[in-house]
Amino acid sequence: MMKAKEITIGGLLAALALVIPLAFGGVLGIVIPPFSATLASHVPVMLAMVVSPATAVFVGLVSALGFLIKLGPVIAARAAVHAVFGYVGAKMIQRGYSFLVALAATLPIHAGLEALVVMPFGFDFYKAFVVVGVGTMIHHVIDSAIALAVFYALNPILKLKTIQH
């Protein structure tokens, strides 16, 4: 059962996960065909990892909806992966790992799944794993830095999880 605080923070992060692609998809977007990235698009799901696994999955799925509306099914399929890596990261945090460790550990999961999910859309191995996979790794690192900065700035107010190890 989710607590009111989880639902509230999850709703705010889900709203942000929708606003980023819908309002800022063109402004924060980077396109190196066939790869595209919207800066800060992973931040809501990354922050949701410190709330709970259910919150991370919810925010990841809402992110996919936003990308489906704005950029279509291929990008939405990639964004749906956010629910998976968010869940894994949230479970790690529940087990006592730090936010930083969870972000680092989910990087290969995130990049690998985004590379795999584009293959049914006609991406060959090079485009899927080198262009999309490596691009996602770089994007994950950038968004992790943003998420950590936001987490440290907001955590005194929200009192989520403390960094342990």
pLDDT per position as a tens digit, 57-114: 999 999 999 999 999 999 999 999 999 999 999 999 999 999 999 999 999 999 999 9
Is the predicted pLDDT of residue 162 greater than 60, yes or no? no
Name the band, by pLDDT with cuts 50, 70 and 90, for residue 164: very low
How confident is the model at residue 163, as a pLDDT? Answer: 43
Contacts of 109 (CB under 8 A, 6+ apart): 84, 85, 88
Domains and CATH numbers, the chain: 4-158 (1.10.1760.20)
In contact, 82 and 107? CB cutoff 8 Å: no
DSSP category for residue 120? G
- What are the residues whose beta carbons fall under 8 Å from the beta carbon of 120, sequence distance 6 or more? none
CA distance 133 to 112: 6
* Total-model pTM: 0.92
pLDDT score of 13 more than 60: yes
Give the C-alpha separation, 104 to 15, whole Å.
Answer: 25
pLDDT beyond 90 at 4:
no
Tell me the sheet residues that pair with 30. 37
Helix (H, G, I), strand (E, B) or coil at 133: helix
Tell me what the pLDDT averaged over the chain comes to. Answer: 92
Q: Identify the CA nearest to 16 among candidates 37, 47, 54.
A: 47
Percent of the chain topping pLDDT 90 = 79
Could you give the CA distance from residue 31 to residue 71 in angstroms, rounded to a whole number? Answer: 12
pLDDT of residue 29 exceeding 50: yes
Tell which residue, 132, 145, 149, has the closest CA to residue 37.
132
What's the pLDDT at 165?
Answer: 38
- Supply the DSSP symbol for 129: I
Is it the case that residue 48 has pLDDT exceeding 90? yes
Token pair for 157: 């107010």
